[in-house]
Structure 1
Amino acid sequence: MACYSFFFSLIVLLAAVCHGQDAFVCSRATYYGSPKCRATENGACGFGEYGQAVNNGEVTGVSRLYRNGTGCGACYQVRCRIPAHCSDEGVKVVVTDYGEGDHTDFILSTRAYAKLARPNMAEELFAYGVVDIEYQRIPCRYRYNLFLKVHERSNYPHYLAVVPLYKEGMYDIIAVEIWLEDCKEWWPMRRVFGTVFDLQNPPAGPLNFRLQVVAEANAEVKLVQLTSAIPSDWKAGIAYDTAFQLN
């Protein structure tokens, strides 16, 4: 009984260390590489090249935090927990992909994984492969407005797919609607995968959108209207400035 009580007390102590100060949560992280030390070329969020370059390539794939794509674009501070090798600040990453490792919540780009380490300690940290970490969600910060990118698979004027980019703050986009002028109603777009929303036979532009966003899990839904966000002569692969930001 004494051994059991000690073991239980140890678990409670470890949980308190992870979930106490600053709301950090304990988990594990690994990394995946590419020739450019960034993430995979085709991430599950549908960001394309943006998913490799955003935040200076300090990005991550996640497992349960992916939340069927709703977690795409969220920002986290991640710190590893090997005092001899890990920096106090850790790294701030953007979710651009889905991935599962060895009981990990994060699969970091190699650029991001290296920033977990103290100066000149990255090589030693890479040797671990998987490390214990603590993380917390933080607001995203950009120098840009929210953009709506017309996905490359769109086909003017018959098929439209859009991808929100540069989502600030701690908002999650849970749904996207488009205004049908003929019907005088908002029509839901389909979440194809990640943060890609589409519609067959979209209305003629310029196009108005309405985003359903929440600031945190189970929070009240906020409606954000984007007027004339995409022009009538929209083109696949182009990202359009909405002149608006969520934060």
Structure 2
Amino acid sequence: MIRVFAKALSEVMNWSSMALSKSQTFSWWSTKPRMELSLNHQLGLVCVILLFPALCSCNEYFTNSRASYYNTPDGLGNPRGACGFEEYGRTINNGSVAAVSGLWRNGAGCGTCYWVRCKIPQYCGKGVQVVATDSGAGDGTDFIMSKRGFSGLARNVAASKELFKRGVVDIAFTRVPCNYPSNIKLRVHKSSKNPGYLAVLLLNVNGVRDITAVEMWQRGQKRWEPLRRVYGAVFDYANPPSGAILLRFQVGYGYWLPSNNPIPANWKPGATYDTKVQIYEKGN
């Protein structure tokens, strides 16, 4: 695409040169040449000037890598993934999910969204959005995708079969904002016990930045106390305070986002609670 616009820019510049050479006339009272461009040429030049920087910006943020896929009975995600999402990790994003390697970031990358496109013109379409739900590494691959996610790379069903035959394909990827229609949800992990031990996962986190830390408000000490990242997206706290529990989340390594809806005092393992907050930000 960049080459196409570069060619267009070159043609417009040639038009300009031709117009200049044909219209250079001099008179005894002026030594300045008169340059006349047709309306079409002027509009073409304006379009190239406006669109070319935007096109460069789009391509600038894609990273080259490779992608493969893994098998499940239904082609969806792995409910036993390293992020701890369980069934949520199997079905989120309609099952277009992936295990990632360096992008996992010790669990901080769990739930992040990426746009992935492959590089075989006759087989590859515009690409597919996948959600990171697991940790996994292959031979030089950043993504090991569910079959549904991997098939989304192809331009049609026949092309999808060709990609599956190859098994591993060259790709380019970029991080994109997750855009879930609901608020951030807190799920109490099934290992929790009330009272005595609380473990939670954050689900449906929008935006393009990781949740890097979670803290709990201690009413008695009137201060925030950090939760421990156990693994993946699971945070825990031993001997949490009785009563409703208020959490806040660090977005990237910047601001803290407090929940607007405390976990109720009678919380139960496996229950999901609405935080009544969400992150609203755009990507690159």
Identify the structure with bigger relative contact order (alpha carbons < 8 Å, sequence gap 6+): 1
Match of 1:182 in 2: 220
Query: What does the per-residue CA deviation read over 1:186-231, in whole Å, with 9 as the maximum and x for residues that have no partner?
Result: 11000000110001111112111111111xxxxx511111144311
What is the match of residue 141 of structure 2?
Answer: 104
Query: Which residue does 1:239 correspond to in 2?
Result: 272
**Distance across 2 between alignment mates of 1:105 and 1:228:** 36
Q: CA deviation at 1:157?
A: 1.1
**Greater radius of gyration (CA):** 2
Letter in 1 for 2:233: T
Aligned mates of 1:229, 1:25 — CA distance in 2: 39
User: The residue matched to 2:144 in structure 1 has which SS?
Assistant: strand
Q: 2:72 is matched with which residue? A: 34
1:63 and 2:101 aligned: yes
Q: Structure 2 length normalisation: TM-score?
A: 0.77
Q: In the alignment, is residue 209 of structure 1 matched against residue 242 of structure 2?
A: no
Alignment of 1:63-212 (within 5 A): 63-87=101-125, 89-120=126-157, 121-212=159-250
Q: Distance in 2 between matches of 1:92 and 1:21?
A: 16
* Structure showing the higher strand proportion among its residues: 1
**Helix, strand or coil: the match of 2:259?**
strand
Distance 1:144 1:72 in 2: 18
Conservation of the 8 A alpha-carbon contact between 1:207 and 1:227: no
CA distance in 2: counterparts of 1:155 and 1:210, whole angstroms = 21
Which structure features the higher share of helix residues?
2
Tell me the TM-score normalized by structure 1. 0.88
Structure 1 Cα separation of the partners of residues 261 and 179 of structure 2: 24
Q: Using the alignment, how far apart are the partners of 1:191 and 1:46 within structure 2?
A: 11
Amino acid at match of 1:240: Y
Identity %: 49
Determine the C-alpha separation between the residues in 1 that align with 2:174 and 2:107.
19
The amino acid of 1:158's aligned partner reads G
- Contact between 1:175 and 1:188, CA under 8 Å: does it hold in 2? yes
SS of equivalent to 1:202: coil
**Cα RMSD (Å):** 1.5
Contact 1:150/1:160 (8 A) holds in 2: yes
Displaced runs of 4 or more, over 2 A = none
Structure 2 residue ranges without an equivalent (≥5): 1-56
Unaligned runs of 5+ in 1: 1-18, 215-219
CA deviations on 1:112-149 (whole Å, 9 max, x unpaired) are 00010111211111001110000000000011110000
Instruction: Judge conservation of contact 1:168–1:245 (CA < 8 Å) in 2.
Output: yes
**In the TM superposition, what whole-angstrom CA distance separates every residue of 1:66-124 from its partner, at most 9, and x where no partner exists?**
0001111110000001111110x210011100001111000100000001011121111
C-alpha contact (below 8 Å) 2:185/2:274 kept by paired residues: yes
Query: Retained in 1: the 8 A contact 2:82–2:231?
Result: yes
